[in-house]
């Protein structure tokens, strides 16, 4: 993917980000528009468009992303009170950046799962 993808550019160091954890295969950095006291994005360094293509294409790497998210949650002191891990996927999911990323949200009660009931 590369230069067309915002998060590939963060991986490449072309766009600055506040990185909180890095492994050989994953990167975690603070969201530029935080929606909670802790709002970290956890991505794979390799480009996958979304969690579905990652999960089916490389389940081991998907597990590494989850392990990085768990380590960040621990570092950020979220294990006691809990947190939310979220993958927006596609148009209805509200995905805006098409490089797989987990939103790790915490540090305050997060309220209902959805802003409004759409059932």
**Footprint on residues 73-112 left by Zn ion (CB under 5 A):** 99
Which of residues 83 and 101 has its CB atom nearest to Zn ion in the complex?
101
Question: What is the Cβ-side half-sphere exposure of residue 110, based on CA atoms within 13 angstroms?
Answer: 20
Write down the catalytic residue from 39, 47, 99, 101: 101
Q: Which two tokens stand for residue 106?
A: 């915490």
Binding site for ligand 5GP (CB under 6 A): 6, 15, 17, 29-33, 88, 94-97
Coil, strand or helix: which one is 33?
A: coil
Q: Closest Cα partner for 106 from 75, 73, 62? A: 73
**Binding partner selected for residue 97 from Zn ion, ligand 5GP, none, CB under the kind-specific 5 to 8 Å limit:** ligand 5GP
Contact partner, 99, from Zn ion, ligand 5GP, none, Cβ < 5-8 Å per class: Zn ion
Annotated active-site residue 101? The verdict is: yes
Query: Cα–Cα distance between 78 and 53 in angstroms, integer?
Result: 28
């Amino acid at each position: 993917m590369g230069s067309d993808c915002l998060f590939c550019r963060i991986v490449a160091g072309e766009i600055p980000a506040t990185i909180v954890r890095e492994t050989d295969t994953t990167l975690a950095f603070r969201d530029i528009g935080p929606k909670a006291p802790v709002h970290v994005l956890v991505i794979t360094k390799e480009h996958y468009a979304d969690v579905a293509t990652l999960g089916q294409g490389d389940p081991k790497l998907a597990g590494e992303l989850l392990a990085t998210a768990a380590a960040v949650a621990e570092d950020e002191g979220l294990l006691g009170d809990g947190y939310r891990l979220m993958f927006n996927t596609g148009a209805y999911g509200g995905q805006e950046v098409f490089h797989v990323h987990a939103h790790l949200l915490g540090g305050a009660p997060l309220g209902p799962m959805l802003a409004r009931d759409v059932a």
